[in-house]
């Protein structure tokens, strides 16, 4: 059930209405049933896989809390290995088999291993990481083991963030399912305004940019350097509008019922460095990797510069593999790991002042765009071919610009389509710049006003109807 479908609109209204109509003791049950229904609307049978991981982590959490020493660590490792094994079978088995066969072929062997025909369950990487955060926090003593199986199941399955995050921590979310949330106009309008902004970013920005990106990357060998450059810029716009839009809808839907989910994006394209970019982009994943991969890698040896750089590279390799079972994602993770090491070494050479700030911002955006070529390409050879074509075959002649614009629709309406896309995208970033600086109507006293939020909801939904793609489309991060 896609957030952008009419089915979800009806689902959201019914679930929210029932949540406030039911007595407090029945609310978690209704939310759990609704979340199961939401997940089963994609591929019903895969709820059984989700149930397996829930049972494993629920049981191990209790065992971990009641154990000490070696047995405690054994239970933790068993939980991590069991949960990750499910993820491996569905997401990584074929990748490792095919990669192993290529390596064996280079060594003169010709193994013929069977390939899996299983389809990756939607959101498996997200709720795997959410389940892992629970058992790790119980092991560390930061979270008591949840004895109520239904409440723990709801922690993993809570429908707003079930399939694409934010990846929550038990300390933030679990206790909220036991709290009595009274109906609040402030929560209602605050949540709806976030949802409206999310729908605007998804349906007006991301879905308008997608056709151009798909056309250029789908036939990249026949596309010019300028077309591929424009498509890469639009992909940066598309994936941000798509994923940040999903996060806004998820956080807003939860807020209407009184739940607070963590912020997942904080205007990442205004970053002046790659380190800052990763503090602003997909925050729930970045902080997860920091807490559960980067920091534990230091072990008991203390924090040193070489260990710091080593851990960064390893962490981003894990991030790349988490995103997809493809060498493009592994290379993408390695790319960012190496960039962050270089940035850390070169940090002392940066000057101060407005000129340096603009230069740092421009370099960060260039690095991000190169990374998105790796992220969007289907293979490393395609990524290299696209980067090479952009570098050597980009010109700004009248004919090349005309062809780049015509790629939008292929007819005389292309100029209007491109102009509208650019204007709406510019509007989004102007709004974000005003949010960033908290100027004019985006000062806290206005943004927190119910009246201001109501006006925002009306205007944004009108923009969605007038300019958005009203056909329900999937979100990019569903594939992860």
Q: Which of 163, 159, 171, 121 is nearest to 18 (CA)?
A: 159
Torsion of CA 369, 370, 374, 375, to 10 degrees: -20
State how far the Cα of 403 lies from the Cα of 456, in Å rounded to an integer: 37
Residue 323 annotated to the active site: yes
Contact indicator for 189, 450 with CB cutoff of 8 Å: yes
109 vs 78, 93, 94, 95, 103, CA distance in Å? 34, 20, 18, 18, 9
Q: Can you read off the two tokens belonging to residue 448?
A: 């927190």
Contact indicator for 260, 179 with CB cutoff of 8 Å: no
DSSP state of 292: I
Q: Which of 52, 64, 53, 50 is nearest to 137 (CA)?
A: 64
State how far the Cα of 275 lies from the Cα of 298, in Å rounded to an integer: 19
Q: Which of 185, 179, 151, 122 is nearest to 31 (CA)?
A: 151
Q: How would you class 362 by CB atoms within 10 Å of its CB: exposed for 0-12, middle for 13-18, buried for 19 or more?
A: exposed
Q: What is the biggest distance separating any 2 CA atoms in the chain, rounded to whole angstroms?
A: 72
Tokens 């003593």, residue located: 141
State how far the Cα of 433 lies from the Cα of 56, in Å rounded to an integer: 45
- Catalytic entry in 148, 282, 323, 361: 323
Tokens 């990669």, residue located: 99
Instruction: Just list the catalytic residues.
Output: 323
């Amino acid at each position: 059930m896609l957030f952008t479908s009419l089915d979800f609109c009806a689902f959201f209204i019914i679930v929210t209405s029932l949540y406030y109509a039911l007595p407090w003791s029945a609310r978690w049950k209704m939310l759990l049933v609704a979340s199961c229904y939401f997940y089963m609307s994609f591929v019903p049978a895969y709820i059984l896989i989700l149930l397996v991981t829930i049972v494993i982590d629920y049981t191990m959490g209790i065992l971990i809390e009641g154990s000490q020493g070696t047995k405690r660590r054994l239970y933790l490792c068993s939980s991590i290995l069991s949960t990750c094994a499910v993820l491996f079978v569905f997401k990584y088995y074929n990748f490792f088999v095919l990669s192993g066969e290529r390596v064996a072929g280079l060594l003169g062997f010709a193994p013929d291993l069977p390939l899996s025909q299983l389809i990756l369950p939607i959101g498996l990487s997200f709720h795997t990481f959410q389940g892992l955060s629970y058992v790790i926090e119980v092991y560390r003593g930061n979270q008591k083991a949840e004895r109520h199986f239904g409440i723990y199941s709801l922690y993993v399955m809570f429908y707003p963030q079930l399939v694409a995050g934010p990846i929550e921590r038990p300390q933030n979310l679990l206790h909220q399912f036991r709290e009595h949330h009274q109906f609040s106009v402030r929560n209602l309008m605050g949540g709806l305004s976030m949802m409206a902004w999310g729908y605007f970013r998804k349906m007006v920005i991301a879905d308008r940019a997608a056709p151009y990106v798909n056309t250029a990357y789908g036939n990249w060998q026949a596309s010019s350097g300028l077309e591929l450059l424009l498509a890469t810029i639009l992909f940066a716009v598309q994936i941000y509008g798509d994923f940040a839009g999903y996060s806004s809808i998820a956080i807003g839907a939860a807020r209407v019922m009184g739940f607070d989910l963590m912020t997942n994006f904080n205007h990442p394209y205004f970053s002046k460095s790659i380190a800052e970019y990763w503090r602003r982009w997909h925050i729930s994943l970045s902080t997860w990797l920091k807490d559960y991969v980067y920091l534990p890698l230091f072990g008991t040896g203390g924090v040193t510069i070489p260990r710091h750089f080593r851990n960064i590279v390893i962490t981003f390799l894990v991030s790349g593999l988490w995103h997809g079972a493809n060498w493009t994602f592994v290379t993408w993770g390695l790319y960012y790991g190496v960039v962050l090491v270089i940035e850390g070494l070169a940090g002392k050479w940066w000057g101060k002042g407005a000129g340096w700030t603009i230069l740092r911002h421009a370099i960060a955006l260039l690095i991000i765009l190169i990374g998105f070529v790796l992220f969007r390409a289907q293979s490393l050879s395609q990524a290299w071919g696209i980067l090479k074509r952009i570098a050597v075959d980009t010109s700004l002649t009248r004919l090349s610009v005309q062809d780049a614009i015509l790629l939008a629709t292929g007819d005389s309406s292309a100029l209007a389509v491109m102009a509208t896309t650019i204007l709406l995208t510019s509007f989004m970033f102007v709004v974000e710049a005003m949010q960033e600086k908290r100027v004019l109507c985006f000062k806290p006293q206005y943004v927190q006003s119910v009246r201001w939020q109501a006006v925002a909801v009306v205007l944004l939904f009108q923009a969605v109807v007038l300019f958005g793609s009203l056909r329900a489309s999937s979100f990019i991060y569903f594939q992860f």
